[in-house]
Each structure stands twice: as structure tokens, then as C-alpha cells.
Structure 1
């Protein structure tokens, strides 16, 4: 086994010593059938922003909008290309392109390789960089640089320019399919675009007010209005406005984190950036702590995938008009082996 200690409150090993899927294991045949039974009107809603939104790289300086380019052969770009120009009488015209894309730029899933922690998993008294179920940085999740804690996190070149999650990559969610019953909690209906850091009490108020039923294996989706503001800004995001509006979960609220554990949900997605409020409020007690406590709890401890920047306005309006909160959700990421996140085009069917 890779670990002797597991984090307090985690489920490491519960789905098997070598599990790479985490809480989506809870989406079984009954959960998929339960989602299918929510299809009564035969309507589908796209829950993705256009993948060139938010625009610029203001929300995250590392992530840039997608850049489309033609594929090239013999120095010739294949857009509006007379494909069989040497074949008499041939009429084919071909356009063929490629994309440079930050995988978590827009509507996305986080893989379980996205966020780990410094934790003494092997019980030797020295914390090491590990991910869900004890998988190791630099061994299982690799990149061109190794960061070592013993010399002040000085980077050490490992050779090459590539990164690869040999385990916990996004392809695990793709193979699973991420299809089952979705449950929407519409925070906008109760808090509008108020800048509110939503803890357990706030979330329970919205759930109870709308009579939302959440069951084991459901995928929970939260509407905050953030993605709608991003759309209104038309690829020119105003960070000051976005930072002062809309709900985000309080990752420091222990009751909220415990509810996420106890609820049995298989995935958590929202229409905002990061799902949780970032920066998080200071911890109640000094000492070591994660800067992204909800990511830490979900991805690192529970293997609970997080979706970000989903578009939910149209689905929310239809569900409220029809007195519903459940739907069939189909949201597989790209089957891109080794990727640590992926764009996604979720589809809700009602």
C-alpha cells in the first residue's frame, strides 16, 4: 500500500487500494437510471460557456484563451485547401485546424491530480507531496521540475518540458462517463448577485426553501450567477466587479465540509470560478492549513471532482418554471490520458 496514514476525514482506500476514481464510484446503474427517469420533456440545455470565455487571462494569469490554427503540410495551411488539386475533376475543399488550449480556462472538470497536499502518508514523520489515495508527486504525477521541501521548495529540473498524470488523470472521469442525475441548487434565486460566502446554514436555507432532495450518487450543481456576469462582459472580464459579486462556498466552514462528506454526492460543480471563495478567510486556529480548503477536502480527501464556470441560467429558469430541481446530466471530459483537467460541454436533459 502507498500509505500508512490517511488524512482525517478522508475516504482513501474505501473504493480500493488502487482506486483513481473517487466519489464517482457512487454513480452506479441505479443512479444512471434515476437520472434517465428525469427526462420527461425531451429538452436539452448546454451548460458550457463558449470556450473562449472569460476572455484575456485576468482571472488566472497562467491560463490563456484558446488559439485556433490550421494544420500544415509541406508549409501549406489546410484551410479552404483544394484537397485533390492534382486529381483532374476533383472538387474537394478541406479545412482542418488545431488548438492551443489551457485545459481549465473555461467550463471544466478538475481531475483528482489537480490539487494535492503536503501530508505524511508513509508515517515517517516527514510530509511529502501526495494526491488522493496516496499517489505521489514526481512519481505518479510528473512534470519538468521537481519541488523539494527540504531545501526551501527550490525547483530541480527533471528534464523535458512535459507533464503527465500517470494516475488520477482526467481520462478516468471520461471512461466513467459522468452521466447520472444532476441536482441544481439555485443560489441566485435566494441571494441574487450578493457577494456572499456561503456556509452550511446559507446552503441549507436554499435547499430547504426549494424542497431540493439530494441523494447518494447525485451530482450537485450550484448556480451563483458568476458565469452569467462573465458572458455579459463579452470577453473583457472586470476582475473588480466579479470579485465583489455572487456567491461562493465557504471552504473554512467545517459543517459545510462535513455535509459534503455525508451527502454522498458524486461530484460538485458551480458556475463560478473555483466553486469556493478564494482567497479563503483565515483559519480559526493558527498552524498549517490549505489555502483552498474546499479543493483540499473534495479533491485530496474525498476524490470528489469539481466543475467550474458552468453556465446554468437557462436550465435554472426552466426548472423553476416547472417546479423541478433534478435532471439527467451527461458531462464527460475529454478522454485525454494524463491531463489534470479538461474542458467539458455538460448537457442537461429534462
Structure 2
């Protein structure tokens, strides 16, 4: 294979190569200037909604033991904390007081985007009969997505960063940021139909909700799923109750093949939810080898559809329902952090 032909055949149902052999944006390519104009046309009131949780929520590491709340601390200046620091220096006439800080962030702890380097699969892309770890459009683990050189480099770094070269040389979140992620979005209000209880939503249930609310999803639309999960997290005040959360809110049934086919056929550009993983996690067990997160496999690995998780959708969903609307302008770029496999987001909806 050459650099331009990372694969000789692609996974069934995937769109590898459809946007070009070296594409790293997937179905963001469907957010065209026309889709942006359609989003802007949905702005009637000039009201803006912040769709991000406070980035120190959910609190603790109940949802994921490997992800921890952000750490904020001042930088150091002349051996002292650079917070409320008086800039006297050599001139006693100076009267400036400055503060400067740093953050250690687990990039997918709170409201977030997944990049395509977040989830790959074992797949025989070169036809030699041996599956190897691959990501969207055939990008390769160990070559395009590099792991840490040392085990200790995989831990929480001190200020100043890791020593390793761990990064996504391809498929990093910066490619999403460069596309700005602005256009028309559609709200599907699962909470209004399913309530607070946990329910695995398959194709039939989703279609009943869409039909009841007269929701239309067109190619290039960004789809948001309101389940009430993030609102429940806010109510827990940074002390999440694991058992209660396991029973809270609708989740998509990633094992439902018709649901996955709808995601393919709808032409949606990104898929967003206010819950932890968009889909049931872990998915229902199977007797044959399969993905633990089949919707992640379908979206991130096969189709190049970015997933948004833990967004705060309740105030917006309630406003849209009260006003008989389901479409809005969404502006939601991630951090332009080269090589990152995920990113916090502070999305803004305008109606």
C-alpha cells in the first residue's frame, strides 16, 4: 500500500474514501455553506443557550474511573504562586496585581466531542487475512495515531506536559475545530416521551418520537438527543449517584441494525446527546465477536460521524417544545488542540 491507499477494501456499510482518500472530516463535509445559511435562518428571537455543563461536572470519577475533574492552579512566578501577585519588580512605583493559572484537563470528562481517533476497530484493511487496529478511513494505530512511549506517561501529567509523543498524527480534534462546526441542528426530545427512566431506544421507538413531534432530519443536519441525563447530573451537585444514573434517561440501542441504518440514510452530520455515551454502555452482549460500543463503531469508525456527549440540552429542549420548534442554529467547535482524540466544548444554540 502507498500512503494514499491505506486500505484495499473497507468495512461493510462504511463510507471510507467517499470524501477523498485522505479525508479526516467525515460527514462534517455535509455541513456546507447552504447548511450554515439554513441554520442562520432558524434564528428568530436572538436568544442564545449555553449547551455546556460546568466542566467540573459530573464530579468525581463515577462515570469513568480513568477520567477525573479538572485541576486549576496558578502558574509560578519568581518561586511564588502567580495569583494576586503584585508586580513590584525593581520599581516600587509599579502597582499592577496579576493572576495567571493553568489547567490539567481530562479532555472527555464533561461536555465533549469525540474525534475519529477516539474509537477504532480490529479490521483487515489490507486483505492479508490479519486484522489490525484501524480508524476511520483506514488510518493506522502506531503510525497515524501514536501511543505513549512509556507506561508512566499515560498518567496525569505535571504542569509542563508529558514526555511522550502520544498524539493523533491524523484524525485529531483540530480538524473538527478548523471546520468551525456551525450550521442547522435538530432536537429530538426523547425525554418528553420516555421520561426520566432508562430506556433503550431502537429504530421503532425513535421513529414514533420523530413522527409524534413532526421532526425532520435532512442531510447535513446536526442531531441532538435530549434525555434529561445531564440535568440529573446538575441536580446531584457534583456528587453523582452511580446507581441512580444507571437508571436515568433514554439511550440509543446500538445493537439495533435498523437504527444504525437510519443514521446512515438520514445524512446527519454529527450525533449529540446529553448522556454519557449516546448509546447503551455496554451494549447488549452477543455470542459472536463484536464491538462493545456498536454505535461508536458505526459512527466514528465507519461513517466519520463525530459524537457529542454530556451536553446540557434541557433548557433548550424545553424552550423549543414550548414554542413548537425543533430546529436551531448550533455553533460548537472543539478546542483547536492538535493531536487530541477528544475535546471539551462550549456549544451555543441560537433560536
CA distance change for structure 1 residues 65 and 162 in 2, over 3 Å: closer, same or farther? farther
| Alignment-derived partner of residue 114 in structure 1 | 118
Structure 2 CA distance for aligned equivalents of residues 332 and 226 of structure 1? 22
Structure 1 CA distance for aligned equivalents of residues 16 and 7 of structure 2? 9
**1:208-259 deviation line (CA, Å, top 9, x unaligned):** 1111111110000000010011111111111100001210000000000000
CA distance change for structure 1 residues 37 and 126 in 2, over 3 Å: closer, same or farther? same
Q: Is the 8 A contact 1:138 1:146 kept in 2?
A: no
User: What is the 5 A alignment of 1:115-194?
Assistant: 115-144=119-148, 161-194=164-197
> Among 10, 14, 29, which residue is 2:33 paired with?
29
| Alignment-derived partner of residue 291 in structure 2 | 290
**1:79-133 deviation line (CA, Å, top 9, x unaligned):** 0011244323222110100001100000000000000000000110000000000
Q: Is the 8 A contact 2:149 2:166 kept in 1?
A: no
RMSD between aligned residues: 1.4
Structure 1 window deviating more from structure 2 (327-336 vs 73-82): it is 73-82
| Alignment-derived partner of residue 154 in structure 1 | none
2:207 counterpart of 1:195: no
Deviation at 1:74, TM superposition (A): 2.8
2:175 counterpart of 1:205: no
Structure 1 CA distance for aligned equivalents of residues 184 and 62 of structure 2? 34
Deviation at 1:194, TM superposition (A): 1.7
CA distance change for structure 1 residues 146 and 294 in 2, over 3 Å: closer, same or farther? farther
Structure 2 CA distance for aligned equivalents of residues 219 and 133 of structure 1? 21
Deviation at 1:287, TM superposition (A): 2.1
Specify every segment of 5 or more residues in structure 2 that has no aligned partner in the other structure, as ranges: 152-161
User: What is the 5 A alignment of 1:1-350?
Assistant: 1-144=5-148, 161-283=164-286, 286-350=287-351
Structure 1 CA distance for aligned equivalents of residues 91 and 328 of structure 2? 52
| Alignment-derived partner of residue 153 in structure 1 | none
Q: Is the 8 A contact 1:107 1:310 kept in 2?
A: yes
Specify every segment of 5 or more residues in structure 1 that has no aligned partner in the other structure, as ranges: 148-158
Structure 2 CA distance for aligned equivalents of residues 305 and 83 of structure 1? 45
Structure 2 CA distance for aligned equivalents of residues 68 and 58 of structure 1? 20
Structure 1 CA distance for aligned equivalents of residues 271 and 87 of structure 2? 46
**1:329-350 deviation line (CA, Å, top 9, x unaligned):** 0000000000000000000000
TM-score of the aligned structures, taking structure 1 as reference length: 0.94
CA distance change for structure 1 residues 238 and 260 in 2, over 3 Å: closer, same or farther? same
Q: Is the 8 A contact 2:150 2:164 kept in 1?
A: no
**1:124-167 deviation line (CA, Å, top 9, x unaligned):** 000000000000000000012599xxxxxxxxxxx953420000
Q: Is the 8 A contact 2:274 2:309 kept in 1?
A: yes
**1:251-280 deviation line (CA, Å, top 9, x unaligned):** 000000000000000000000000000111
TM-score of the aligned structures, taking structure 2 as reference length: 0.94
Structure 1 window deviating more from structure 2 (4-13 vs 80-89): it is 80-89
Structure 1 CA distance for aligned equivalents of residues 316 and 201 of structure 2? 22
Structure 1 CA distance for aligned equivalents of residues 268 and 87 of structure 2? 50
Structure 1 CA distance for aligned equivalents of residues 163 and 345 of structure 2? 28
Structure 1 CA distance for aligned equivalents of residues 179 and 15 of structure 2? 19
